[in-house]
Structure 1
Amino acid sequence: MESNIDSSTCSGDRPTVMVTNDDGIDAPGLRALVRVLVSSNRLKVLVCAPDSEKSAVSHCITWRNSVSSKPVEISGSTAFAVSGTPADCTSLGISKVLFPSVPDLVISGINMGSNCGYHIVYSGTVAGAREALFNGVPSVSLSYDWTGGRSNVDDFTLAAEGCLPIIIAILSEIKRKTYPQNCFLNIDVPTDVRNYKGYRLTRQGKSIVKMGWRQVGSDVQGAKMLSTMTMESNSASYNESDALSTPNNHLLFKREVTGLQVEDGDTDYRSLQDGYITVTPLGALSHAEVDSQAYFKEWLPRVVERLSSASL
C-alpha cells in the first residue's frame, strides 16, 4: 500500500499526530494522551474525535447523512468534536477538509478497556486506526486494561507515558521512510501500569468474553452495559421506569457475561495479563486459516460439478 502522507509534514521541525477515540472527546483516556503528547514539546497535536461515546461500533461509517463538527478547547492542540463514528473522525481528520495537511500519524485512544483477541473486531478504537491504514496513513490504537476497584483516571496518564517511546520511535521511522505501510499497531497497557514488565510483540489471539441474553423485567434495577471489550462500564443502567415505559408488546433484552474464552501462548490477551505492554501488528484484511483455505479449495469444485450435473 502506498502512503498518502504529505511529504512536507515530516520535513518540518515537529511531526503532526492526530488523536481520535471511541469513548468520546471528553473521555479521560483521550485527554490524558493529548496532555502527554503536548507536554513532550516534540509534536504538533490535532484532535478529531466523536462528540459522544461510540464504543463497540466497530468500523461503522456514516454514509447517507451529514456529520457535524465543532471546535473544542483542548490546551496545546487544535481539536474538533464530530457527530460521527471513530472511522468517520479519522477519515475527516486526514482528508485536508478539516485540517490543512495530512497528519504523520493517527493515534486512536486511549480506550477505557483492553482490545485483544476477537474483541478487536468490535472495537471502535481499533477501527479509528484501521481507517487510517485504509488511506495510507500510519496509525496506532491504544487501550488501557481498566479494572474496576483497581484503576483510576491517573492511570491513563501513566499509560500514555508508557506508550510515548513507541510513538516517538514510529515517527522516527516515518521520517526515514522506513516504516511499513501494510499494517498498523494495536497496543494494550496492563492494569498495573505502574509496574508493567516491559514491551512484548504479540499476535492477535482468540480471547473473547462470552455473552448471552436475558429478558429485562420491570423489577430489574441497575443492570450495567459492558464497556468496549471489558466487564467494567460507566454506562447508564436500565431502571424500573425504563422497563415500564416500554409498550406492552415490546420485550426488552440485555446482554450478560456468561464466560471467558482465553487462548494460551504468545497472544495479546495472555501477555497483557502477564503484565506486559503488548504491541500487536494488525492488517486490513481478515484471512481464513490455512486449513480452511485448503478445505474450500476442494469443496468449491465439487459444488460446481454437482450444479453442472443437475443442469444436464
Structure 2
Amino acid sequence: MRILVTNDDGIFAEGIYKLAKHMQSNGEVVVVAPDSERSASGHAITMHSPLTVKKVKFFNTEIEAYSVNGTPADCVKIGVEVLCKTQKPDLVISGINNGPNLGTDVIYSGTVSAAVESAILDIPSIAVSMGSYESNQFDDAAQFISSIFKKMIESSSLHNIIINVNYPAKPKSEIKGVKITTLGTRRYDNAFIERKDPWGNSYYWISGTVRDIKQDVESDIAAINKNYISITPIHFDLTHFKHFEELKKWDFHI
C-alpha cells in the first residue's frame, strides 16, 4: 500500500510530520510537499516557470520526501505522474493543516485543492485540518486519520471523492464524536486592511474576522463549534444539476 502525503503549510510543518509518521503503520509513505507555505493558494498550478524538485531529509525519519517550489496541486500532479510513476499511490492525504478548512473556504484552500487534484487523477483522497489555529498538537488528528484509512481504501465507491476532515483543536476527552456533514457558509468582516507606502500609495492586506452567521445543523461549521469531528464528502464536479435541467428548457436564439 502506497500513501502520498502533502500539505500547503510547507514540507517542514509539524502537521505533515505527524501525519506521515502515523501513516507509516498503514503502508509505504512518500511525502511531496511545497518548499514553503502555500496557504490559500487554491487549485493553482504552475504553468509559466519550471518546477524544481529536491529530495530532502524528512525530520528524523527515513521517509522518502521531496520538496517542490510549487503549489499543493503541483505537488500531487508531479508526485503521482513523475515521482511515483512506477507505483502510483493508493491514497493521497493532504494536511494536517494548521487551522480549519470549513464551508466555502474549501474553494481557497491549498490543503483541500491538493486532495481535489488527487481525485481528478482518480485516486481517493483525504484533506485534514485542525478546527482552529489554537492547536498545539497534531497527534490525535493523525491517529484518527490512520484509523479510518482502511475504510477509505475498502470503499470502492469513493475512488474520486474527497473526504474533508476537520478535527477539533481540543483534548481527546472533550471531543464528542464524529459527524458526517455538509459544507457550511463562511463570511468575513473587514476583509481588506489598507496601508500606505512611503510615497502615499495604498496597498492592502487580505485579512478579516469570521462573521457569526446561522449555520445549518448538519454543516461542518456547526459540528466543529460543538466539538465534533467533521467529515464532509466533496467533489470537483461543480455542475448545478437542478439548473442544468432548467437551462435545457430555455429557448436559445443564435
When normalised by structure 2's length, the TM-score is 0.90
- Counterpart amino acid of residue 160 in structure 1: A
- 1:112 aligned onto 2:98: yes
What secondary structure, in the 3-state scheme, does the structure 2 residue paired with 1:87 have? helix
Q: Flag the 1:295–1:193 CA change in 2: closer, same or farther, 3 A.
A: farther
* 1:61 aligned residue (37, 41, 45): 45
- Counterpart amino acid of residue 59 in structure 1: H
Per the alignment, residue 201 of structure 2 pairs with 250
* 1:198 aligned residue (177, 194, 198): 177
Per the alignment, residue 92 of structure 1 pairs with 78
Q: Flag the 1:259–1:81 CA change in 2: closer, same or farther, 3 A.
A: closer
- 1:274 aligned onto 2:226: yes
Per the alignment, residue 88 of structure 2 pairs with 102
C-alpha deviation, 1:256, in angstroms: 3.6
* 1:138 aligned residue (124, 149, 155): 124
- 1:186 aligned onto 2:164: yes
Q: Flag the 1:255–1:30 CA change in 2: closer, same or farther, 3 A.
A: same
* Structure whose CA Rg is larger: 1
Q: Could you tell me how far apart the structure 2 residues matched to 1:268 and 1:86 are?
A: 23
Per the alignment, residue 195 of structure 2 pairs with 216
Offset from partner CA, 1:50-87 (integer Å, 9 cap, x none): 00000001000011321001111121310000011000
- 1:160 aligned onto 2:142: yes
Structure 2 contact 32–68 (Cα < 8 Å) conserved: yes
Q: Could you tell me how far apart the structure 2 residues matched to 1:297 and 1:44 are?
A: 48
Q: Flag the 1:264–1:163 CA change in 2: closer, same or farther, 3 A.
A: same
Offset from partner CA, 1:1-46 (integer Å, 9 cap, x none): xxxxxxxxxxxxxx110100001001111011112222x3x31110
C-alpha deviation, 1:255, in angstroms: 2.5
Per the alignment, residue 3 of structure 2 pairs with 17
Offset from partner CA, 1:201-228 (integer Å, 9 cap, x none): 11112233345323214xxxxxxxxxxx
Q: Flag the 1:123–1:259 CA change in 2: closer, same or farther, 3 A.
A: closer
Structure 2 contact 195–204 (Cα < 8 Å) conserved: yes
Structure 2 unpaired stretches of 5+: none
C-alpha deviation, 1:259, in angstroms: 4.5
Q: Which moved more, 1:84-93 or 1:193-202?
A: 193-202
- 1:70 aligned onto 2:46: no
What secondary structure, in the 3-state scheme, does the structure 1 residue paired with 2:176 have? coil
Per the alignment, residue 287 of structure 1 pairs with 239
5 Å-filtered alignment, 1:2-41, equals 15-38=1-24, 40=25
Structure 1 unpaired stretches of 5+: 1-14, 218-242
C-alpha deviation, 1:96, in angstroms: 3.8
Q: Could you tell me how far apart the structure 2 residues matched to 1:99 and 1:166 are?
A: 26
Q: Which moved more, 1:196-205 or 1:206-215?
A: 206-215
**Paired-residue identity, %:** 31
Q: Could you tell me how far apart the structure 2 residues matched to 1:60 and 1:210 are?
A: 25
Structure 2 contact 96–130 (Cα < 8 Å) conserved: yes
Question: How many residue pairs align between the two structures?
Answer: 250
Structure 1 contact 207–263 (Cα < 8 Å) conserved: no
What secondary structure, in the 3-state scheme, does the structure 1 residue paired with 2:18 have? helix
The root-mean-square deviation of aligned C-alpha atoms, in Å, is 2.1
Q: Could you tell me how far apart the structure 2 residues matched to 1:258 and 1:269 are?
A: 15
